[in-house]
A and B are shown apart, each in its own frame.
Chain A
Amino acid sequence: MKDNPIMRLAVRWNIPFMLIFALYTQTHGELGPGGGFQSGVIVAAAFVLYGLVFGGAEMRRVVPRWFTDLLGAVGVLIYAGAGVYAMAMGYEFLDHAALMPSNPGGAEPWGMTVVEYGVGITVFGVMMTIFNEITEGTNPEDNEPTDDSADTEYGS
């Protein structure tokens, strides 16, 4: 699909809007419909669309594998970290009031925002991983040295 000018142009014009919309979904999770999960899915869809048209190797040049693997774990850690922080402050696990003890009701949106960012980051990382692993080696053009470099990346 790389040589099809219509696809290239359509994807290039669509991706910025998808990313902005995902950002809107993420930051307005507690105000309107949507939230971390939907936002992560939309960001991943934008990058996967890029990968479908321009090739997997080109996509992995923009978003490397080690980065998406890392994000999958970082999101869960942010979410669990919000809970552990509340425990460290003397509250119950995941009690968002710990973020602003003087105004427990007002702390809820802050806690929700932190947690939503965790969900969004994990969903983005895992969706990218799904695409990477499903389409691995299907396109001879992007036969990057996956087999050995994947191991050395983790070894370093």
Chain B
Amino acid sequence: MSPTIMLDVVLLALVIIAGIAAIEVRSLFAAVMLASIYSLLMACFWTTMDAVDVAYTEAAVGAGISTILLMGALVLTGETEIVRRAVHWPALGACMLVGALLVYGTLDMPKFGDENAPAHVHPIYAGYTQQDVRKHPGGKSHGDNVRAEQAAEHSEPEAHDETAHGHGDYFHGHVPNQVTSIIVSYRAFDTLFETAVIFTAGMGLIVLLRGRRGNPLKGGLL
């Protein structure tokens, strides 16, 4: 067994333990902390899967701000959970069914790290990795730069063009982080409206909650 797999097994076992403990523990403060530990372990797991951006978000949002917000919410609630131990069989059945469906869905997916996965063998992949997408019609693509470099090597060495050093118009610009490049350049519309959704959530809170606690008829716009 390779060290990576062993690390994954250990991390996922800890994730399961943290998840079960967060459900079972009666102190709400401990439950919040366990949920935070769960997020941090998941962030470690994403890191071993090379999804660093996802790990970063998980650590900042899951282990950071949501823990702090839940602790703020604990001020509103009591310290311990009201225990009701009866098993709700329809809910348990629904959870098992959805879980089984999800596991069934993963059976079709390629194995982790499989080099023959569709994401690696599809023809479009070559174009993306060579960054030969012509986003700006007038500019030079990365392929043009490589060809210019090769031509420069065969002719006299002084004839180096600026564009031969990677200043051309390949799709990702000069951005090493492809995730950022896809999120805010390739899918900039998408991200603009995601930002608008966050903004709308804040405005909704202000309209619904501001100045109304304790006196539902006062404050707010409604």
B177 at the interface (CB under 8 A from A): yes
Evaluate contact between A122 and B181: CB separation under 8 angstroms: no
Contacts of A32 in B (CB 8 A): 52, 176-177
Query: How long is the Cα–Cα vector from A105 to B185 in the complex, in angstroms?
Result: 11
Chain A residue at smallest Cβ distance from B168 = A105
Query: How long is the Cα–Cα vector from A79 to B189 in the complex, in angstroms?
Result: 10
Query: How long is the Cα–Cα vector from A37 to B138 in the complex, in angstroms?
Result: 32
Contacts of A111 in B (CB 8 A): 184-185
Query: How long is the Cα–Cα vector from A105 to B52 in the complex, in angstroms?
Result: 25
A57 CB to nearest chain B CB (Å) = 14
B56 at the interface (CB under 8 A from A): yes
Stretch at the interface among B70-78, B99-107, B148-156: B70-78
Please pick, from A107, A115, A122, A125, the residue contacting B184 in the complex, using a CB distance under 8 A: A115
Evaluate contact between A112 and B199: CB separation under 8 angstroms: no
A130 touching B69 in the complex, CB below 8 Å, given contacts A29-B180, A108-B173, A122-B198: yes
Chain A residue at smallest Cβ distance from B208 = A133
Evaluate contact between A122 and B199: CB separation under 8 angstroms: yes
Q: Majority SS of interface residues in chain B? A: helix
B118 at the interface (CB under 8 A from A): no
Contacts of A75 in B (CB 8 A): 195, 199
Which A26-46 residues have C-beta < 8 A from chain B? 29-35, 37-38, 41-42, 44-45
A62 at the interface (CB under 8 A from B): no
B218 at the interface (CB under 8 A from A): yes
Which B129-168 residues have C-beta < 8 A from chain A? 135-136, 138-140, 167-168
Evaluate contact between A125 and B202: CB separation under 8 angstroms: yes
Contacts of B61 in A (CB 8 A): 38, 41
B10 at the interface (CB under 8 A from A): no
Q: Would you give the 0/1 interface string for A115-156, flagging 1 where the beta carbon is closer than 8 Å to chain B?
A: 110110011011101110111111100000011001100000
Please pick, from A76, A139, A151, the residue contacting B199 in the complex, using a CB distance under 8 A: A76
Query: How long is the Cα–Cα vector from A31 to B174 in the complex, in angstroms?
Result: 9
Query: How long is the Cα–Cα vector from A118 to B174 in the complex, in angstroms?
Result: 20
Please pick, from A38, A52, A76, A129, the residue contacting B60 in the complex, using a CB distance under 8 A: A38
Query: How long is the Cα–Cα vector from A151 to B210 in the complex, in angstroms?
Result: 10
- Interface residues in chain A, defined as those with a beta carbon under 8 Å from any beta carbon in chain B: 25, 29-35, 37-38, 41-42, 44-45, 48-49, 52, 69, 72-73, 75-76, 79-80, 83, 93-97, 103-109, 111-112, 115-116, 118-119, 122-123, 125-127, 129-131, 133-139, 146-147, 150-151
27 contacts between A and B (CB under 8 A): A30-B177, A32-B177, A33-B52, A35-B183, A41-B61, A41-B65, A48-B65, A72-B199, A75-B195, A76-B196, A76-B199, A104-B135, A107-B173, A108-B174, A112-B181, A112-B185, A115-B191, A116-B180, A119-B195, A126-B201, A127-B65, A136-B210, A136-B213, A137-B213, A137-B214, A147-B218, A150-B210
Question: Can you list the 6 inter-chain pairs with the closest CB atoms, starting with the nearest?
Answer: A108-B173, A126-B202, A104-B136, A33-B52, A94-B188, A133-B209
